Amino acid sequence: MELYAGIEQAAEVFKTTRKLVTFSGAGMSAESGIPTFRDPGGIWDQFDPAEVGTGPGLLNTLSRMPEKIRAFINETIRVFLQAQPNPGHLALGTLEQIGILRSVVTQNVDNLHQEAGNKNVIEMHGNLFRQRCLACEAKKPFGREEYLGRVKNALEEMTTFDLPSIMEMLPKCDCGSPMRPDVVMFGEAVQGLYESFQEADSCDVMLVLGTSGVVYPAAALPQKAKESGATVIEINPGDSAYYGVADIRLQGTTGEILPRIVQRIQNA
């Protein structure tokens, strides 16, 4: 479909709904400078998920090669500190504000949807800046810059880099125990699965953004929405697994296309 016609068509669909649910993935974060999984030069290209992406792997690597963990944390801080919501994120904030978008279901952990003004965000893979108690599971949100700045300073002041000094650096829960980032590591169960499928089941438009559709169970959400009668609209600069699912497929970045759709709606 020609892009201009597709944008017109998507805007017409958006105008008729107050139950639009967005499903977003790594491509949206990539537009904000956070490389996607195994992008050349990205975090998972430089660091082996088996060594730093699971709890046991992380502890093992820390005892054998602490400098690798330090480098991983430093790279994570660098990447996430410079990221900002992109025009695609901001367009979603506007769509919620004008009553069209009901919720955002995301696989991203970077908090950028909230920073763009979205209030109803279901984070299937957690949030890097929210902390979870290792003992009582209580959760505490931190701001992105606040948390990263805190870790950065603690790392700079650290004279020895080992497990006890890292435990010392972690924020403390009200119960006194250390707290870790509330993200879903490899092999851990996703969060908000039931709520996400409920959103997919009850929406009338699902907007699929920057996700290749290969990481299950999240990848099944657009299919679920379609089976429940929703119109599925996909924006993706590359290929995905949703060619047979999307009713309207727009090839391009969210930052390029979403603001144009919003503009059409607001000028109508």
Contacts (CB under 5 A) with Zn ion, residues 207-236: none
CB of 166 to Zn ion, least distance (A): 18
Q: Is 33 left (phi over 0), alpha (psi -120 to 50) or beta?
A: left
Residue 161: helix, strand or coil by DSSP? Answer: coil
What six digits make up the tokens of 165?
């000094």
Q: Helices marked H in the chain — which ranges?
A: 3-15, 26-30, 43-46, 49-52, 55-64, 66-82, 87-97, 112-115, 144-157, 163-169, 193-202, 221-227, 254-267
Q: Which is nearer to Zn ion, 98 or 135 (CB)?
A: 135
C-alpha 32/C-alpha 112 separation (Å) is: 9
The dihedral built from the CA positions of residue 253, 130, 224 and 26, taken in this order, carries a sign that is positive
Q: Which is nearer to Zn ion, 175 or 241 (CB)?
A: 175
Q: What is the size of the binding site for Zn ion (CB under 5 A)?
A: 7
Catalytic residues, which ones?
A: 125
CB of 146 to Zn ion, least distance (A): 20
CB of 142 to Zn ion, least distance (A): 15
Q: Is 192 left (phi over 0), alpha (psi -120 to 50) or beta?
A: left
Among 124, 147, 136, 129, CA closest to 220: 124
Q: Which is nearer to Zn ion, 178 or 237 (CB)?
A: 178
CB of 53 to Zn ion, least distance (A): 24
CB of 60 to Zn ion, least distance (A): 25
| Contacts of 42 by beta carbon, 8 Å cutoff, 6+ apart | 35, 36
Contacts (CB under 5 A) with Zn ion, residues 161-180: 173, 175, 177
Q: Which is nearer to Zn ion, 5 or 138 (CB)?
A: 138
Strand partners, 236: 251
Q: Which is nearer to Zn ion, 134 or 265 (CB)?
A: 134
- Long-range contacts of 242-247, Cβ-Cβ distance < 8 Å, separation of 24 or more: 242/208, 242/213, 246/208, 246/222
**CB half-sphere exposure, 217, CA atoms < 13 A:** 13
What six digits make up the tokens of 144?
């992105």
CB of 124 to Zn ion, least distance (A): 24
Contacts (CB under 5 A) with Zn ion, residues 130-149: 133, 135-136, 138
Contacts (CB under 5 A) with Zn ion, residues 183-202: none
Q: Which is nearer to Zn ion, 92 or 179 (CB)?
A: 179
Q: What residue ranges bind Zn ion (CB under 5 A)? A: 133, 135-136, 138, 173, 175, 177
